[in-house]
Every structure is written in C-alpha cells, then in structure tokens.
Amino acid sequence: MLKIYGIKNCNSMKKAFDLLNELELPYEFHDYKKQGIDADTVKNWLNQLGAELVLNKKGTTWKKLTEQEQQRALSSEEELIHALTTYTSLIKRPMIDFGQGFLVGFNEDNIRALK
C-alpha cells in the first residue's frame, strides 16, 4: 500500500488524492500538520532523495523564515532535520512512499505509472 505524506488542505495534495482515488490505488495518509514527522523519517528522505528534493524553498514557510534561520537550516543535516520537523510545511508535497522509493511533488504521469 502507498503511504502519502503531506497536509490535507494543500492543493497539490488534493490533486494527488483525487488521482489516487481515480486510479483506485489504496493509500495511507500521514498528515504531518496533525501527526508531526519524526527525525528518522526525514533523515531517510534526505539520504535517499537529497535536500534539494525534500526542502520546499518556493513555499511561504521558507520565505517567512529570516535569512539567519534559512542559513542555519542549511548549515548541517542535523539543522535541516530540525527545521523540517519543526516547520513541516518546508517539506515538499506530496511525498509518496511506494515501497521501492519515493515520488516527490505532484506529477500526474509519475503517479499514473504506479498503477
């Protein structure tokens, strides 16, 4: 079963949910606004995908951080994990765990390929 991580009210998440339902692909949803996200999961994402894929620098949460907060987040893996677990909106959405890897961000073709 797929596991999709994100925030319920995000537009990218809504598109992903709609497509997964259309394709009748069962999934478990982890809402990290309500449930949080643990450091080990974030560390795994960073190790497998890299910070550029995991960290959402285009969103308002990143832009609202001061330049010092942004620099501290980027100063080490430990600081980045702290930032991502503290400000979960910094994680790109959706994050879909399909067992053999991850899809990051909404891409209709990539999601359809999971069928």
- Active site annotation includes 30: no
Question: DSSP readout, 44-70?
Answer: HHHHHH-HHHHB-SSSHHHHHS-HHHH
Task: Determine which one of 7, 10, 19, 114 is catalytic.
Answer: 10
Phi, psi (degrees; rounded to nearest 5) at 56: -95, 95
DSSP 23: T
Which residues are designated catalytic? 10
